[in-house]
């Protein structure tokens, strides 16, 4: 893997950890405590300065109360854009409340379509 790609994925994972931490209304200190990591280390990971091990990622996801799958979801680019990936792209950076609202709207449209 080229060095540029490696740092890009490290940065994306760090951004994803930060986004998930903020969605859960946790400070870096709180996540560090829940994960058994040092606060400075959590900050370095979130800024993409540290290339974390799988063991560290496991600690982070346990601290966040999520799965590894959820952490890595939508991190890498998809080769081919389809309707589902476009929907995901629109929602991935939105708040949890916005995502839930979009889900309710989508369910309403599908239910309406099924009743026709």
Contact 60, 45 (CB under 8 A): yes
The pLDDT tens digits along the chain (116 residues) read 444 455 888 999 999 999 899 989 999 999 999 999 999 999 999 999 999 999 999 999 999 999 998 888 777 665 556 787 788 778 877 888 999 999 999 999 999 999 88
The two structure tokens encoding residue 21: 């931490």
Contact 61, 13 (CB under 8 A): no
Q: Looking at the whole model, is its pTM more than 0.95?
A: no
In terms of Cβ atoms closer than 10 Å to its own Cβ (0-12, 13-18, 19+), residue 35 is buried
Measured distance CA(116)–CA(107) in Å, rounded: 15
């Amino acid at each position: 893997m080229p060095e540029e790609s490696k740092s890009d994925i490290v940065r994306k994972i760090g951004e994803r950890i930060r986004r998930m931490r903020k969605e859960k209304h946790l400070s870096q200190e709180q996540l560090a405590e829940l994960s058994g990591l040092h606060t400075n280390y959590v900050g370095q990971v979130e800024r993409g300065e540290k290339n974390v091990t799988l063991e560290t990622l496991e600690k982070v996801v346990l601290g966040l109360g999520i799965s590894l799958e959820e952490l890595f979801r939508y991190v890498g680019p998809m080769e081919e854009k389809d309707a589902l990936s476009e929907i995901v792209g629109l929602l991935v950076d939105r708040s949890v409340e916005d995502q839930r609202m979009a889900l309710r709207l989508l369910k309403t449209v599908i239910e309406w379509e099924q009743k026709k």
